[in-house]
Structure 1
Amino acid sequence: MTSHVFTDTVIMFQRCARHTLRSRDTLTISLLMPVLVMMLFTYVFGGAIDVGGPYLDYVVPGIMLLCTGFGSSITATSVSTDMTKGSIDRFRTLPMFRQAVLAGHVAEGVVRNLAAIGIAVAAALVLGYRPHADPAAWLSASAVIALFVVAISWIAVALGLLAKNPEAAGGLTYAIMFIPYISSAFVQTATMPAWLRGFAEYQPATPVVETVRGLLNSTGIGNNAALALSWCFGLTIVGFSCASVIFSRLSRR
């Protein structure tokens, strides 16, 4: 049974990956847009923002989260397309693990987002980003980012199932793309008004980005790691549970 589930998931992942590779415009935007945003903040706004050090070193962890936000829109839209264009109806006639199609979308989203993050980090290194992390810190930071990507991918799948059409699915993910901007990803939360700072400090993006920033820049992470992991696991459970329930209800129609 376990091998059957794994095989079906791999097949669905390959299917989703082929669809993404065929949509070259969408793929190019999802991979390059974070780099353009990073350059915008670094060279246009960075000189006016005081973070106590090089702004590029500060902003790179935030760009990693931004990659996930951009990628979530593609995942949600792809899931909604499957639901509205009849693909799921065809899968129901096959002897396969029913949830494999959702797991395939998540796996493809994780690989695509991690690729976008890798490209953004490579571009940052070219621009002068010089993290002080040792291999263990890099591995830990990568693990936190990967967990966050998995969590957001499951949320995106649930939103894609909930949407009435692919256009609406893309719209529903705007909140995910917007969240990193209201966090410590681009500016210190202490510079925000009190009413906004409360939200910025107690939402998932801030502890995740502070953990990654602390690991890569060797500035300390405090209790942010525990908060980041709690948010990642909590969002994964919520996203997976909601996606499973919605998919089961839609499958019974």
Structure 2
Amino acid sequence: MNGIRAIGDTAVLTGRSLRHVLRSPDTIITTALMPIAMMLLFVYVFGGAVDIGSGAGSGSYATYLLPGILLITVASGIAYTAFRLFSDMQSGIVERFRSMPLARGAVLWSHVLTSLVAILISLAVVLGVSLAIGFRSTAGPAAWLAVAGILVLFALALTWVAVIPGLTATSVDGASAFSYPLIFLPFLSSAFVPTESMPGPVRWFAEHQPVTAIVDTLRDLLAEQPVGAETWGALAWCVGVLAVAYAAATTIFRRRAR
């Protein structure tokens, strides 16, 4: 019964949050706008000067670029998670929810699920634009499902990371600014150029940070290529970040409830 009640409470609060998002669709538009601008800039300005080699996913630069742009879209969207949660904390609505017979985790999960829906819509918009400018994939349904699964897992992990500043920040700017390093992390990865072209220390960092493993996995899946060991690394990074962020966020939320 407790599990059913928790699901029901989460559904009600998620519906409330989704209505707020639908009334302000500019958050979805803004989330998609920057990645689209980056994609157009790199494809039409820098694309002709970038040698992507003959590896998996090579072909048009738009095809090579898309996995990194999708991750940037996710990183752009989570800033609104922190902002919406911070706004609720400051307005006192969260305290009001705590005084009601609601499941303890429903408040946080409603914000996480709302952000996940908004991010998925933004990803669909970015994918549509990429198709218009030359992205093509030979992937079958199973590969596309795997791509969607990895993106959802990545989005969940970063969204739970965003919950932490949403609970602890003391200003709106502080709640949102944490996402900036995450947005620029793909620039130090294989998202835009092969890591082989990078100087020594930068190449080492690029090859051992999580974005490269995730980008390479998505690129292989979209090119219908056999996935390598980096796939397990990508999944391990996503699951690890998700577990740590979830534990930290729920602990902070419980302490603030005392």
- TM interval, short-chain normalised: over 0.9
Aligned to 2:218: 212
Aligned to 1:14: 15
CA deviation string 1:50-95 (max 9, x = no partner): 1023211100111110111100111111111111221111111111
Aligned to 2:154: 148
Aligned to 2:62: 56
Q: Give the CA deviation at 1:240.
A: 0.3
Aligned to 1:174: 180
Q: Give the CA deviation at 1:101.
A: 1.0
What SS does the aligned partner of 2:256 have? helix
The one-letter code sitting in structure 2 at the alignment partner of 1:49 is: V
Alpha-carbon distance in 2 for matches of 1:96, 1:238 = 25
Pair 1:248 & 2:249 matched: no
Alpha-carbon distance in 1 for matches of 2:33, 2:47 = 20
| Preserved CA contact (<8 Å) 2:28 2:121 | no
Q: Give the CA deviation at 1:217.
A: 1.3
| Preserved CA contact (<8 Å) 2:150 2:235 | yes
Count of aligned residue pairs for this structure pair: 252
| Preserved CA contact (<8 Å) 2:60 2:134 | no
Alpha-carbon distance in 1 for matches of 2:167, 2:182 = 16
The one-letter code sitting in structure 2 at the alignment partner of 1:186 is: F
The one-letter code sitting in structure 2 at the alignment partner of 1:39 is: L
CA deviation string 1:199-223 (max 9, x = no partner): 2111111111110110001344311
Alignment of 1:121-200 (within 5 A): 121-200=127-206
Q: Give the CA deviation at 1:173.
A: 1.6
Alpha-carbon distance in 1 for matches of 2:205, 2:165 = 22
Alpha-carbon distance in 2 for matches of 1:221, 1:185 = 17
What is the alpha-carbon root mean square deviation over aligned residues?
1.3
| Aligned pair partner of 1:119 in 116, 125, 143 | 125
Pair 1:77 & 2:83 matched: yes
The one-letter code sitting in structure 2 at the alignment partner of 1:139 is: L
| Preserved CA contact (<8 Å) 1:159 1:173 | no
Q: Give the CA deviation at 1:225.
A: 1.0
Moved over 3 A (4+): none
Alpha-carbon distance in 1 for matches of 2:207, 2:215 = 11
| Preserved CA contact (<8 Å) 1:72 1:176 | no
TM-score by length of 1: 0.95
Alpha-carbon distance in 2 for matches of 1:193, 1:83 = 45
Alpha-carbon distance in 2 for matches of 1:203, 1:161 = 27
| Preserved CA contact (<8 Å) 1:158 1:242 | yes
The runs of 5 or more residues in structure 1 that have no matched partner are none
Aligned to 1:93: 99
| Aligned pair partner of 1:108 in 114, 117, 128 | 114
